[in-house]
Amino acid sequence: MISQNTINQVFETARVEEVIGDFVQLKKAGSNFKGLSPFSDERTPSFMVSPVKQIWKDFSSGKGGNVVAFLMEHEHFSYPEAIKYLAKKYNIEIEETEQTDEQKEKANERESMYLVSEFAQKYFIRILHNHEQGKAIGLTYFKERGFTDETIEKFQLGYALDQWDAFTSEAIKQGYQLEFLEKTGLTIVKEEKQFDRFKGRVLFPIHSMSGRVLGFGGRILTNDKKAAKYLNSPESEIYHKSKILYGIYQAKQTIAKEDNCYLVEGYTDVIQFHQRGIKNVVASSGTALTSEQIRLVNRLTKNITVLFDGDAAGMRASLRGIDLILEQGMNIKVCTFPEGEDPDSFAKQNSLEELTLYLEENARDFINFKANVLSEEASTDPVKKAETIRDIITSISKIPDNIKQEIYIKDCSRIMDISEEVLFSTLAQMQNSTIREANKKYKQKQKAFEVVKRQEQQVEKVNIQLVLEKKILEILLLYGNKEEDFVEYYLKENEDGELELERTLETNKVFKKIFLSLQEDEVEFTNELFQKIYFQIINKYNESEELKIETFVNQLEPEIASEVTSILMNEERYTLHQWDRQNIFVKQKEETVSQLVSENILSLRKQLLNQKIVELSEEVKENNESDNNNEHLQDIMDYLSLKKLISEKLNRVI
């Protein structure tokens, strides 16, 4: 178990904007930061981070919380793992007691798979550096590739012994279950036999954005024609090849800092670039580029430069990936290396200055690149040239930004020597065709369900009571300790025997005012979770008359912390729309806190009166001849009079 002292130190030190900034590209938005949601596919920001409150909220998925909650949601960490990650990031020494065998067994399946992968990584590293076979074969190979000790350590490279079950036997001996060795793909099980998947291979661990080991890529070093040159971990609960980029963990901070990402194909391309000094580089690991991989980069930067070797066939096959990048609204450039060279060999043979200069001078816009690649085939053939132009326009049609589309059309017109009018016309035809196809599919889908009787759509009724309860919690969290002058109304009878409200002025703390008002009306929150939050807030204020959001949220249970975050960040969603740029200025709550408190208390009283009137009316209906009816009717009249007075004070119609 991690000591409470360590946990407290982690929360005091960690900055939510710094931690999330490692995973999401954040931009300043007033006192907050905003960015694209890391939990959904979107093109406009709905993700907010508050440095002041040390919390975050994702309005597209509804998720939110403190810095630990983000790591648990985004990286699927357990609570202790999130604390350890933050402690490592901020160089905090962890005080903890060793886990018992019983505690290890209680870890869930995903965590067990992560633990197995972590053990495998350390085992392969140990074999590479300490075993005779590892040093003679594995380490020698890496040295021949030109990798330094620092690079080998940074990318945690390893080696698996060329024995059938060396790793599996050691893992089982150390207490790791065969079930999870098989599920991660580290061990292949056939009937009663089991053997190592990566035997005799040098290993490249594949990390998540936060550095967790998800899987491995293994390269064979013998000339066995029956064995694949590269072998990856199979798909598993923790490893999805299409959703991860090799090197993203080592590159994420530089990508965000440089505001650009270089995309290569293989592991050694990434490693050689890093070693040369260019660290904002990732690889698709030899697989076709996917939308999920592009979104990983999109969270960190809008700019991506794809690096191709001199192989023309490989370049043509990779053109499909360009369209996927354009669809994400990213800015793309392409750079090719001389024939016979790839990023690995070119970086190895050139200095950092030479490599940087080459990338700057040879990175071309995708229009130029695509036109050159395709026009080589077209040559003087008019039909092939027309196909080339259509192919380029298809790529332009993927771009969501109309301004960018127009700029690219002009470039294409100039490069391919064809009028802009024709190109714009072709683009319009393609877009109309896409819309027609989408409508057709929609109609077909609707037709398939026509046999089902259409039910009237039920309009969800707003629960006014819950809205008011949530608003009171928000006021307590934001302004509970603030001292305000409150206009108070006391009920009394005038000379004619009629009810009226007498106005007085009193000074009080906001939390005391709310507490006393709710006590006076004997009000309890109808929502059980809200009631828990209310008591925790009031208890906190009674203890110290102070509530610091950044520390208060960290002390709450996950369910309560999540709801508190939602309440606190609810108003922040409006800053996403940047209304001030449209000369629409939202009145700040701080200016009218006392009015806000009074209105909400009066509104809650009015709501309670409504409920009481409904209850009494139901009783009158059920007991037509009851002696109590006259008394109930008089009560209803009194409540209606009081409701009228409250409505007048709220300037609202009954």
User: pLDDT, tens digit, for every residue of 153-178?
Assistant: 999 999 999 999 999 999 999 999 99
Query: Band of the pLDDT at 347, cuts 50, 70, 90?
Result: very high
Give 444 or 188, the one with higher predicted confidence.
Answer: 188
Q: What is the torsion angle, in degrees rounded to the nearest 10, for the CA atoms of residue 561, residue 573, residue 83 and residue 12?
A: -90
For residue 450, the model assigns a pLDDT of: 53
Q: Is the pLDDT assigned to residue 453 strictly greater than 50?
A: no
What confidence tier does 386 reach under pLDDT thresholds 50, 70, 90? Answer: confident
Structure confidence at residue 576 as a pLDDT band (50, 70, 90): low
pLDDT tops 90 at residue 401: no
Share of the chain above pLDDT 70, in %: 81
At position 456, the amino acid (one-letter code) is E
Q: What is the mean pLDDT of residues 96-108?
A: 62
The vertex-255 CA angle with 124 and 37, nearest 5°, equals 100
Q: Is 576 left (phi over 0), alpha (psi -120 to 50) or beta?
A: alpha
- Kindly state the helix (H) or strand (E) to which residue 65 belongs, with its residue range: strand 64-65
pLDDT at 348: 95
Is 163:195 a contact under the CB 8 Å cutoff? no
Higher-confidence residue of 466 and 570: namely 466
Per-residue confidence at 579, pLDDT binned at 50, 70, 90? very low
Q: Residues 6 or more apart from 193 whose CB is under 8 A from it?
A: none
CA pseudo-torsion sign 408, 413, 416, 421? positive
User: pLDDT tier at 630 (50, 70, 90 boundaries)?
Assistant: low
Q: Which of 193-197, 416-420, 514-518, 521-525 has the lowest mean pLDDT?
A: 521-525
**Integer Cα distance of 291 and 294 in angstroms:** 5
pLDDT given at position 584: 44
Which residue ranges form the domains of the chain, and what is each CATH number?
4-89 (3.90.580.10), 107-239 (3.90.980.10), 248-419 (3.40.1360.10), 464-571+589-649 (no CATH)
pLDDT of residue 286: 65
Average pLDDT, the chain: 83
654 contacts: CB under 8 Å, gap ≥ 6: 643, 644, 647
> How far is it, in rounded angstroms, from Cα 596 to Cα 650?
11
pLDDT at 213: 95
Residue with tokens 């009481």: 612
DSSP-based helix, strand, coil % in the chain, nearest 5: 55, 15, 30
Tell me: the pLDDT tens digits for 586-622? 455 555 788 888 788 778 777 777 777 777 777 767 7
